[in-house]
Amino acid sequence: MGTSLEAENEALKRRISELEAELANRSNHTEAASQQSHPPPPNIANEREVTLSLEEYKRYGRQMILPEIGIEGQMSLKRSRVLIVGAGGLGCPAAAYLAGAGVGTLGIIDHDTVENSNLHRQIIHSTSRVGVPKVVSAITYLRDLNPHPNYVPHVEPLTTENALQIMAGYDLVLDCTDHPAIRYLINDVAVIMNIPIVSASALRTDGQLVVLNNPPSVGPCYRCIWPRPPPAESVVGCGEGGILGPVVGLMGVMQAIEAIKIITKNPVQEVGRTTMTLFAAYGASPFRCLKMRGRKAGCIACGSPERMEEKITRESIEDGRMDYVAFCGGRAGVRVLEGGERISVTEYKKVVDSGVEHLLLDVRDKTQFGICQLEGSLNVPYSEFESSKYEDSEAEAIKSKFEDQPKDRPVYVICRLGNDSQIVTRQLKQAGVFPGDRVFDIKGGIAEWARSGVAGEFPEY
């Protein structure tokens, strides 16, 4: 009994491998035929031999029957090696769809750990994996979704030291990061490695998507479009500006679509105009497609700059001549006040407890003030200090905001993190609104008030 079952089992296994071999053979023929008429896209290494298991035929059937994909497309996906930089709001959905679609090798690089403030948008992480490295958390989810791809974890930041080495193992990179410094680094390395970049970003309720260096040495790169970085103070992250989960999710999903198009492109993409897709969730027409410039002849990354010593090379990245953080101006905290002009949340708590009459001025915007506020605080948003026109007498404009306030009491200024409040403190002092210089900034803002637990439980957001 046992032996007959075993024999049957063996026979079936043999039959399966015969069929798989036959299928692989057939698809290789198709592949060869298609290669004759259409050269393969650069860098998608067609020579890597792959086969699909019967389980995979079933798994990918719904996308394989699309003429845009077909068996050739599925094989290209399986041969492809995609690197996702950043396992956050963009990287999560992009990774899920690419893993699901059957990308052969999926590398993910991120140095962060999962926090519960990530979970409204970083949908492949989970509450039970808070504190776990994002890369590990992501791969846990992805393996369960599709065990076939080769998942490569890189639990480290992408830096000038490791970028060339890491990116050398991939045919395509998805820029799912959150700061211009790393976006320039990804760009420069991708240009050197001849790999296309699918770049997306999102903030608040808006998103942007652009495919760069595609095809390599034809399409414009990040530096062609943005030769100079924005001033550091204009760079706002999701933590400060806020982000609607599905907005960044949508952009990540669109990155997966563009990646699939690049990987399965057959024939090679015609040299067309690069477009940038803008998404504004609350805009009158949410999607906009913009025609972008082409490659810049004098681009220091992908072109031939007039001064050739400016050209970015493997060496200039490796030996540390390229300082991306300095190039983008870092992201230093605001420091405009002297020590004596600032007090800690603990000191402010003492002021409250002592019952001294004072004014607590909260300069967060109305939305944030609505989420939580300290008792008795007056809300005058920071933007109102910034919107007094230049030609107005600035001092008068600021004074008028406090006409009804008694002027004989100390003033404490608070914001979310302790940056805006310093600037407002400085302005109030310069405008001489409250005589006697008794205006103080509360260090670390509402966030520090909550974190320190100085007044018991207080929401942290």
Partner 1 sequence: MNEQQGPSANGVRSNPISLNIEFSGGLEILFSNQRDHRIQLPAKDSSGEPANIMFLVHYLCENLMKDRRKDLFLLHGGIRPGILVLINDADWELEGEEEYLVQDGDIILFVSTLHGG
Among 39, 147, 237, 370, binds partner 1 (CB under 8 A): 237
- At closest approach, how far in Å is the CB of 150 from partner 1? 24
Asked if 418 touches partner 1 (CB under 8 A), the answer is no
Task: Specify the pairing of strand 105-109 against strand 81-85.
Answer: parallel
Which residues share a beta bridge with 85? Answer: 109, 175
On the CB side of 345, how many CA atoms lie within 13 Å of its CA? 20
Number of chain positions touching partner 1 (CB under 8 A): 55
Which residues share a beta bridge with 243? Answer: 204
**415 is known as an active-site residue:** yes
Give the contact letters, 100-139, x = binds to partner 1 (CB under 8 A), - = no: ----------------------------------------
Q: Do residues 332 and 396 touch, judged by C-beta distance below 8 A? A: no
Q: List the catalytic residue out of 92, 176, 328, 415.
A: 415
120 annotated ligand-binding residue: yes
How distant, in Å, are the alpha carbons of 166, 327, 387 from that of 331? Answer: 26, 11, 24
Amino acid identity for residue 53 in this structure: S
Asked if 331 touches partner 1 (CB under 8 A), the answer is no
Among 154, 183, 223, 342, binds partner 1 (CB under 8 A): 183
Q: Do residues 60 and 101 touch, judged by C-beta distance below 8 A? A: yes
Helical axes 70-79 vs 54-64, angle rounded to 10°: 120
Residues 274-313 interacting with partner 1 (rule: CB under 8 A):
276, 278, 280, 283-284, 288-293
Q: Do residues 155 and 111 touch, judged by C-beta distance below 8 A? A: yes
Among 34, 177, 213, 264, binds partner 1 (CB under 8 A): 177
452 annotated ligand-binding residue: no
92 annotated ligand-binding residue: no
Among 225, 262, 337, 446, binds partner 1 (CB under 8 A): 225
Closer residue to partner 1 (CB): 66 or 290: 290
Strand, coil or helix: what is 275? strand
Asked if 234 touches partner 1 (CB under 8 A), the answer is yes
Among the listed ranges 129-137, 303-311, 385-393, 429-437, the one in contact with partner 1 (CB under 8 A) is 385-393
C-alpha to C-alpha distance for 212 and 210, rounded to whole angstroms: 6
Q: List the catalytic residue out of 238, 289, 328, 372.
A: 238
Amino acid identity for residue 14 in this structure: R
Torsional class of 157: left (φ above 0), alpha (ψ -120 to 50), beta (otherwise): beta
Among the listed ranges 10-18, 220-228, 258-266, 445-453, the one in contact with partner 1 (CB under 8 A) is 220-228
C-alpha to C-alpha distance for 322 and 327, rounded to whole angstroms: 8
Q: What angle do CA 436, 441, 445 make, to 5 degrees?
A: 160
Among 176, 211, 345, 413, binds partner 1 (CB under 8 A): 176
Radius of gyration of the chain (CA): 28
- Kind and range of the H or E run holding 167: helix 163-167
Amino acid identity for residue 301 in this structure: A
Task: Specify the pairing of strand 150-154 against strand 378-379.
Answer: unpaired
299 annotated ligand-binding residue: yes
How distant, in Å, are the alpha carbons of 343, 368, 402, 454 from that of 352? Answer: 13, 22, 21, 11
Among 270, 366, 390, 459, binds partner 1 (CB under 8 A): 390
Among the listed ranges 14-22, 159-167, 179-187, 356-364, the one in contact with partner 1 (CB under 8 A) is 179-187
Tokens of 312: 């970015």
Closer residue to partner 1 (CB): 276 or 372: 276
- At closest approach, how far in Å is the CB of 427 from partner 1? 11
- At closest approach, how far in Å is the CB of 145 from partner 1? 21
Residue that the structure tokens 């600037």 belong to: 423
Asked if 90 touches partner 1 (CB under 8 A), the answer is yes
Which residues carry a binding-site annotation?
Answer: 89, 110, 117-121, 134, 178-179, 221, 224, 299, 302
Known binding residues for Zn(2+) are: 221, 224, 299, 302
Active site residues: 238, 415
Binding site for partner 1 (CB under 8 A): 86, 88-91, 175-180, 183, 200-204, 206-208, 225-231, 233-238, 241, 243, 248, 251, 276, 278, 280, 283-284, 288-293, 383, 386-390, 394
